[in-house]
Amino acid sequence: MTATTHAAPPRTAPPRAADAVRRAAQRSARRRRNAAAGVLMTPFFLLLVLVFLVPLGTAVWLSLFSADEPGLGFGPERTVFVGLRSYAAVLTDPTFLSGIGTVALYCVIYIPLMVLGSLALALLLDSGVVRMRSWAQLGLFLPHAVPGIIAALIWLYLYTPGISPVVAALAKADITVDFLGLHTTLPSIVNIALWSNLGYNMVVFYAALQAIPREVLEASVVDGAGPVRTAVRVKAPLVRSSIVMVAMFTLIWALQLFTEPMLLHQASPMVSTRFSPSMYIYDAAFSRTNYSLAAAASVILLVVTIAVSYAVTRWTNRVDSAKETAR
């Protein structure tokens, strides 16, 4: 720009100078942009390092070392590198593996119920069937505002025979239910989790449904689709990305199942101290004071979580692209 104001005579130099100036300007702009990006992203990376990478590194470190004494263990301790010994112990521990099995079963029951339930509620709200929509929304969302531990306490009260009004009312109707029995603890835990999180995920779906262009819905109505058909065949596919996201978060949350069984453990011997992998980790660290075992189990749980999330992402992507090509 400045080059044009200067006269013609020096033909070759000015463009180069102009170039240099422009490049310098670009460079400084880029530098400023980089600096801004750096400033804005520093808190994120700082937190990432502080609350994720450092603890992760510590866990990996802890899992590879142990305070050992040879033989019977009565001698003096010394910290030694033990390699993958703690990992081998965790992976050969039937109580850990049964915890994994429990959580897998929990996921199979919980995730479909959660996703379908919250989607159905969101579609109901969106369809306009429900009167006083905002009140209904608030009512459904409210349980999510209750902290998990309080929710578990409330449900523990409702489940415990002798003090629960629900059990008493059912007993009056000649129905005996033991919510904390051998086969009922897992459904009871699923129920607490559903109650807590259904409203939250419903709000996510509802927001996604609001973003659907009205023309599309009008077109479907014009084509003769009823409200149910519109909801199932038009709306639901359009919020597929939200469904995947909710399913993913629910999965990650479910794999770390802890609060509800931890509290029910106080009331029912059917919820063991090593009910889920997270409870196993807690027990290893704070009841068995075996920190390298707890660290190894934590790392294994993290790896499993990452692997499952990755597999789900890959699978949904492949399904999506398969659909694209089919179209």
Partner 1 sequence: MPGRHSRRSVLAAITALPLTGALSACSGNGSASTGSGSGETSGTKGRTTITFWSALRGSQEVVDAFNATHDHIRVDFEQIPAGGQGGYLKLSNAARAGNAPDVATIEYPQLPGFVIDGVVRDITALVGDELRAKLLPQSLDQTTFDGRTYSVPLDVEPMVLHYREDLFDEFGLDVPTTWDEFAEVARAVRRTGAGRRITVFPTDGMTLMAALCWQAGAQWFDISRGAWNVSMADAPTRTVAAYWQRLIDEDLVHCNATGSRLYDAQVGNGLILTRLSGAWEAGAQMNAHPEQKGTWRIAPLPQWDSARPALGMHGGSTFAVTKDSRHPEAAMEFIAWQVSHPDALKARLSSGTSSMYPAATGLVPVGRAAFDRTYYGGQDIYGLFEQEARKISDGWVWGPRMTATGYIMQDAFARAGAGSGTLLSAMRDAQAGTMPDLKALGLATTQHST
Binding residues for partner 1 (CB under 8 A):
66-74, 76-77, 80, 82, 85-86, 88-90, 92-96, 162, 181-182, 269-270, 272-274, 283, 286-290, 292-293, 296
Cβ at position 189, least distance to partner 1 in Å = 16
Nearer to partner 1, 217 or 279 (CB): 279
Cβ at position 125, least distance to partner 1 in Å = 42
User: What's the chain's Rg over C-alpha atoms?
Assistant: 29
Cβ at position 109, least distance to partner 1 in Å = 19
Measured in Å, how far apart are the chain's first and last C-alpha atoms? 50
C-alpha–C-alpha distance, residues 43 and 307, integer Å = 27
Cβ at position 94, least distance to partner 1 in Å = 5
Nearer to partner 1, 144 or 265 (CB): 265
Nearer to partner 1, 220 or 278 (CB): 278
Cβ at position 157, least distance to partner 1 in Å = 15
Nearer to partner 1, 91 or 113 (CB): 91
Q: Token pair of 283, please?
A: 């027990």
Nearer to partner 1, 85 or 235 (CB): 85
Nearer to partner 1, 160 or 316 (CB): 160
C-alpha–C-alpha distance, residues 12 and 30, integer Å = 27
C-alpha–C-alpha distance, residues 163 and 195, integer Å = 21
Cβ at position 67, least distance to partner 1 in Å = 8
